[in-house]
């Protein structure tokens, strides 16, 4: 079995689940023999519904806060993973406005730790020259070649366009480790996990099909996870 077929890919995402109120289905109301009883009953039902709605909102708000906290902790764990390292430099097939070196949108904006905090167009992330043009790639170099077990790609705009991830060893040989449909949405990581490589990884190449997700596709950072032995 080859590494690609054994690969497990997951998206580090947080699902915020809002609790929904329980209501009766519409039906035929029974008539009351007592004048005004219908109005009183309606008022009682309205009051109860209002209370239920308020309780639902409290539950939903608490759930959202817990999910947000969990998401923040996950981001912190990734940033501080002792076996993870961020790229020291990067090249790409193109860049917006032909940006170079440390200019906004240049490939090197994908080097270093994540620094884009909201899902939006941001010049602190690498961006290809044009939107929806097709195949583009980002090639990142790491300071310490390692026996790798995971690649984490932080997408910050137009998420979901990655179609392939390759590991490049110290001799420059490319090893395709994953290809498929990218499930990433919003500001999040595409996590590509695989058995520890038998070779040390020095670079990671990420390929996108920018026409898959309309608009600009941007990558904030790419983390390589692995050990020296």
Please provide residue 213's backbone torsions phi and psi, each rounded to the nearest 5 degrees.
-120, 115
Does a structural domain hold residue 19?
A: no
Residue 141 pairs in a beta bridge with 89, 203
Residue given tokens 């060893």 in the structure block: 169
H-assigned helices in 25-108: 37-79
The pLDDT score that the predictor gives to residue 66 is 77
Q: Can you give the pLDDT at residue 2?
A: 43
pLDDT, position 74:
85
98 part of a folded domain: yes
**Residues in contact with 143: Cβ distance below 8 Å, sequence separation at least 6, in sequence order:** 85, 88
CATH code, domain with 96: 2.60.120.260
pLDDT score, position 50: 52
**Tens-of-pLDDT digits for all 229 residues of the chain?**
444 433 444 444 333 233 222 232 333 333 333 334 444 444 444 444 454 555 556 676 677 777 788 878 888 899 999 999 999 999 999 999 999 999 999 999 999 999 999 999 999 999 999 999 999 999 999 999 999 999 999 999 999 999 999 999 999 999 999 999 999 999 999 999 999 999 999 999 999 999 999 999 999 999 999 999 9
Q: Residue 102: which domain range?
A: 3-12+83-227
Beta pairing partners, 128: none
Supply the pTM of this predicted model. Answer: 0.74
Q: Is residue 220 part of a domain?
A: yes
Per-residue confidence (pLDDT) for residue 53, from 0 to 100: 58
CB 224 within 8 A of CB 84: yes
Q: Would 212 be classed as within a structural domain?
A: yes
Q: Report pLDDT for 75.
A: 86
182 belongs to a structural domain: yes
Per the domain annotation, does 68 fall within a domain? no
The answer to whether residue 40 is domain-embedded is no
Distance set, CA 212 to CA 135, 147, 155, 185, 206 (Å): 10, 32, 14, 13, 15
- Tell whether 42 is covered by a domain: no
Give the count of domains, the chain. 1
| pLDDT score recorded for residue 57 | 62
Closest-CA residue to 138 (of 93, 188, 201, 84):
93
């Amino acid at each position: 079995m080859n590494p690609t077929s054994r690969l497990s890919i997951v998206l580090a995402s947080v699902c915020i689940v809002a609790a929904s109120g329980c209501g009766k289905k519409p039906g035929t109301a029974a008539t009351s023999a007592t004048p005004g009883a219908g109005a009183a009953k309606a008022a009682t039902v309205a009051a109860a519904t209002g209370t239920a709605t308020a309780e639902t909102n409290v539950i939903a708000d608490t759930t959202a806060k817990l999910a947000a906290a969990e998401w923040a902790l996950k981001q912190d764990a990734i940033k501080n993973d002792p076996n993870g390292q961020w790229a020291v430099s990067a090249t790409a097939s193109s860049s917006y406005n032909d940006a170079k070196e440390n200019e906004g949108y240049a490939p090197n904006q994908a080097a270093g730790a994540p620094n884009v905090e909201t899902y939006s167009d941001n010049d602190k992330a690498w961006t290809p020259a044009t939107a929806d043009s097709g195949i583009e790639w980002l090639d990142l170099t790491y300071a310490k070649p390692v026996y790798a077990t995971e690649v984490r790609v932080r997408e910050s705009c137009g998420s979901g366009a990655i179609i392939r991830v390759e590991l490049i060893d110290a001799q420059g040989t490319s090893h395709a480790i994953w290809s498929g449909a990218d499930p990433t949405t919003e500001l999040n990581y595409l996590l590509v996990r695989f058995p520890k490589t038998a070779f040390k990884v020095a670079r990671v190449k990420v390929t996108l099909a920018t026409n898959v997700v309309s608009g600009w596709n941007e990558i904030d950072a790419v983390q390589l996870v692995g050990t020296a032995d």
